[in-house]
Copies of this chain bind each other. A is one copy, B any other.
Amino acid sequence: MPTLTNRQIVLRRRPHGLVAPEDTELVTAPAPEPGDGEALVRTTYVGIDAAARTWLDDQPGYLPPVGLGEVIRAAGIGEVVQSRCAAYSVGDIVTTLTGFQEYTIVRDDLFTTPVPGPGDQVDQLAVMSIYGPTGATAYFGMTGIGRPQPGETVVVSAAAGATGSVAGQIAKIAGARVVGIAGGPHKCRAVVEDFGFDACIDYRNEDVPAALRQHCPKGVDVYFDNVGGPILDAVLGRLAHKARVVLCGVISSYLTGEHPGPANYVNLLAKTALMQGFNALDEWGRFDEAFAALRGWEEQGLLTHREHIFDGIESCVDALNGLFTGANIGKTLVRLAGS
């Protein structure tokens, strides 16, 4: 078998703010050969998540920082092309930490999940949007911590994004009134028209506290927060009694590394409310439960997904930067091979 070449984007310098051209380098290396208990996966789609930006900083998190010279970490999907691992056969589709590269070695571990069914019949876009870590994050955050009840008011920030769009739809399915927050009229229209939210606040063009008073006259029972910063503070100032605040991300601070403290956290006390962080990986053993519920809803036409797709490994950095500047709706992906 001829040696496969593996194009990779490696980190050369830690970025400040957006990732600059000098911060990364596209390199070509031979694809690694799987050892015993390993398999080789060819990446189909690299998932572009805001969390990936945090891994480029030299800060401890739930995963260690990407080292200088290392491939940039990202969750993706691909096809097993060689296997010396009992868990995977050639042709299987798996989700794993592909990184920004064309080939990656996988093992039978926490980060790698085979997708059931014949590989050529797998809807890889649906897996990246719903039946993978993104969908699981929305599901466990909303159903495990948010627990929306019929008639309650739920607010979701970054509502046009991959996680927010699914989280809000789950709250709608639970019978809640759902208000999104997103940046710009294009995203807000998609949040209401495509994802079925009851309303969407355009934080770039509206006064968020005033809009929250208008759209949430009885207060906010559940807030699914992807952004932190002044928007979190505004929603905390509008909590209803026994509200639940789901901390899923802090996009507003990923470029600056600064987290302004939300002064309205005291409302958690006044309103007997809860604010909780979570990581879907903690619920790894229950992913099948999440995917079964999500699939049922999709089959009933209650849950939809959209993808914003870039082409070619050269696009990975632009796609990542675009999460902070762009007009992406739904899950942002970079296609590396045909699916």
Contacts and interface: CB of A to CB of B under 8 A. Distances in A.
A64 to B, nearest CB: 13
Contact of A275 (B258, B261, B276, B279): B276
A272 interface: yes
A229 to B, nearest CB: 10
B228 A270 contact: no
Interface string A241-255: 000000111100100
Interface in A153-191: none
A65 interface: no
Of residues A261, A263, A277, which shows the largest number of chain B Cβ atoms within 10 Å of its Cβ?
A: A277
A265 interface: yes
A30 B176 CA distance: 53
A278 B270 contact: no
A271 interface: yes
**Oligomeric state, in copies:** 2
Nearest to A261: B261
Q: Chain A, interface size: which category?
A: 20 to 34
Nearest to A54: B270
A259 interface: yes
A259 B265 contact: yes
Contact of A261 (B258, B263, B276, B277): B263
A264 B262 CA distance: 10
Contacts of A278: 269, 272
Of residues A253, A268, A269, A272, which shows the largest number of chain B Cβ atoms within 10 Å of its Cβ?
A: A269
A249 B275 contact: no
8 contacts: A253-B266, A261-B264, A268-B275, A268-B276, A272-B279, A272-B282, A273-B277, A274-B275
Interface of A: 61-62, 228, 233, 247-250, 253, 258-279, 282
